[in-house]
Chain A
Amino acid sequence: MTAYLLASLLFLVGIYSAATKRNLIKIIIGLGISGYAINLFFVLLGYRAGGRAPIFPEALAAGEMVDPLPQALVLMFIVVGLGATSLLSALAVRLYEKHGTFDVRRMRRLRG
């Protein structure tokens, strides 16, 4: 359970950065860090003490293997996180071109 709590602490670090920072890039970084924490939590949920990686399953019984299902889910989320980061970066570049700064406090009067 200590490992779970440490993973949620990492999630909170990311949320803190995304909620309080003024710089758009740091907000993107904070969202990325919370994504890391969620991935880590899923993999921690499937970890078996002394278990082996789910490769060459013929040589393994199910009881000595790490749970493969969270890994299959996290593999999806890693790639989706890349898409999210690139889209956020493109938005940040666009806002920089329009306002000349990454500072969210100086991006007042957003127009459509």
Chain B
Amino acid sequence: MRDLLAAVVAVGAVGLTLSVAFLILGAPDLAVAQLVVEIICLVILVRTTLSRDRVDAWGMRSDAAAACAAAFAAAFLLTAAAAMRALPPFGAPLMRLGGVYLARGAAGGKAGLNVVGKIIGNYRAYDALGEATILFAAVMGVLALLRKVGVKDDGGAGRGR
């Protein structure tokens, strides 16, 4: 699509459809989280795109990039099709670790009726710690990139050369 705003709205539609797919696949937690995150992402991307939308940056980077992408896609699909034969068939999960967690009592107890939240809280707390770390690092990166105070103004020296 030539129009950047249309592309951003289209990817928002993809994310909301993914939320519905999570709901169908039996993951209501993920559906809710995906909905919220998608809306925030859409706001960020629209804010990035607005008033910077110029139609001159359009099209392919180079023919070599397209050829590389096509070659990678073919190799990836072949490898993935070979590897996916080893996976359990769709609709019958292995549930090795999930079954262990359930047998050890992720399902029991009083607080919280949600198995996903209990697995995160009881067995995967380091994952949550790492997630929070990444999120704070991202916030600090955004603040450092977008700050106005203390940045030496080079007058757009890199522009138009």
Q: Assess whether A46 is in contact with B93, with CB atoms less than 8 Å apart.
A: yes
**How far apart are the CA atoms of A47 and B84 in the complex, in Å?**
15
**Given A100-B159, A102-B54, A62 and B60 touching (CB < 8 A)?**
no
**Neighbour of A58 across the interface among B68, B107, B127, B142, CB < 8 A:** B107
Q: Assess whether B116 is in contact with A82, with CB atoms less than 8 Å apart.
A: no
**Neighbour of B120 across the interface among A48, A75, A86, A104, CB < 8 A:** A75
Q: Assess whether B56 is in contact with A103, with CB atoms less than 8 Å apart.
A: yes
**Given A22-B61, A33-B11, A94-B145, A2 and B27 touching (CB < 8 A)?**
no
Instruction: Note all chain B residues with C-beta closer than 8 A to A101.
Output: 54, 56-57
**Given A5-B81, A69-B119, A25 and B56 touching (CB < 8 A)?**
no
Instruction: Note all chain A residues with C-beta closer than 8 A to B93.
Output: 45-48, 66-67
Interface string of A71-88 (1 = CB under 8 A from B): 111111011111111110
Minimum CB–CB distance for B29 against chain A, Å:
6
**Neighbour of B65 across the interface among A20, A58, A69, CB < 8 A:** A20
Q: Assess whether B115 is in contact with A57, with CB atoms less than 8 Å apart.
A: yes
Number of interface residues of A (CB under 8 A): 86
Number of interface residues of B (CB under 8 A): 88
Instruction: Note all chain A residues with C-beta closer than 8 A to B54.
Output: 101-102
Interface string of A1-37 (1 = CB under 8 A from B): 1111100110110011001111111101100110010
Q: Assess whether B91 is in contact with A49, with CB atoms less than 8 Å apart.
A: yes
**Neighbour of B73 across the interface among A12, A36, A56, A103, CB < 8 A:** A12
Point out which of A20, A29, A81 has the most chain B C-beta atoms below 10 A from its C-beta: A20
Q: Assess whether A99 is in contact with B159, with CB atoms less than 8 Å apart.
A: yes
**Given A5-B81, A22-B60, A103-B56, A71 and B27 touching (CB < 8 A)?**
yes
Q: Assess whether A29 is in contact with B7, with CB atoms less than 8 Å apart.
A: yes
Q: Assess whether B18 is in contact with A36, with CB atoms less than 8 Å apart.
A: yes
Point out which of A3, A54, A98 has the most chain B C-beta atoms below 10 A from its C-beta: A54
9 chain-A/chain-B pairs, Cβ below 8 angstroms: A22-B59, A25-B4, A54-B116, A71-B27, A78-B30, A81-B41, A85-B45, A86-B138, A90-B145
- CB within 8 Å of B: which residues of A? 1-5, 8-9, 11-12, 15-16, 19-26, 28-29, 32-33, 36, 39-40, 43-49, 51-58, 60, 62, 65-76, 78-87, 89-94, 96-106, 108-111
